[in-house]
Amino acid sequence: MAAEAYAGLGAWTPEALGAGAVLPVVSAPHTVLSRAGAEVDPTDEETVRLAADLIATMRVSPGCVGLAAPQVGVGAHVFAVNVTGHPKAVTVHGTFALCNARVVEATRWKAGREGCMSVPDLTGDVKRASRLVVEGALPGSGELVRLVTDGFEARALQHEIDHCAGLLFLDRVAGAHAIYQRKVYL
């Protein structure tokens, strides 16, 4: 697909997905977190429901700015993100879900300390691109979108895309002494 076929989020809102259910979040070492998720049909009813469930679960989880399908036990290439109001966020696209997303451009790598709902007792220093271009499909319409973002939203997108590929932040830590016992719980 040529790049010009992709657009931003446009008029898409999460309400288009309908109300979702809050699902339990699984923790490592659950095997679903270590397997690459399957590509999905973004127009499929099941995908739409999954995206709605991810957004519903993300909304009720304190401090959660992103949630990927493997984290609710589903090995699929779908995730939800919302970094609205985060102090490190610069560009913010609001609440959205993407299917089959991939990174097409990643620059300006910066280290930051990450925690994950699925790894509740550890944090780690991970280098991520702070300028990012991501392409994926919107659940429901299946419309292809190209998001250009930066800062914290870029970090969140990379973290969720990793989840869809079966990778945790633990797979990307900067070194042997870059993992820490998590001390503060939200």
Partner 1 sequence: MNELAITVIGRDRPGIVADVAEVLARLGANLTDSTMTRLRGHFAMTLICVGPSAAEVEAALATLTADGQLLATVREVTPDGETAPAGEPYVMAVHGADRMGIVAAMTRVLTEAGGNVTDLSTRLVGSLYVVVAEVELPPGAAEPLAVRLTEAAANLGVDVTLRPAEPDLL
With b for 16 or more beta-carbon neighbours within 10 A and e for fewer, the 60-69 pattern comes to eeeebbbbbb
Which residue stretches of 26-103 are H helix?
45-60
CB closer to partner 1, 48 vs 134: 134
Q: Report the chain's terminal Cα–Cα distance, integer Å.
A: 42
CA distance 89 to 79: 18
Ligand-binding annotation for 159, yes or no, is yes
Mapping DSSP to helix (H, G, I), strand (E, B) and coil, where does residue 148 land?
strand
Query: For residue 109, how far is the Cα from the chain centroid?
Result: 18
Find the binder of partner 1 among 56, 97, 101, 160 (CB under 8 A): 160
Binding mask 59-88 for partner 1 (x = CB under 8 A): ----xxxx-------------------x-x
Find the binder of partner 1 among 96, 133, 135, 155 (CB under 8 A): 155
Please tell me the count of residues contacting partner 1 according to CB under 8 A: 27
Residues that bind partner 1 (CB under 8 A): 63-66, 86, 88, 112-117, 123, 152, 155-156, 159-160, 169, 176-177, 180-184, 186
Could you give the residue numbers annotated as active site? 160
Binding residues: 116, 159, 163
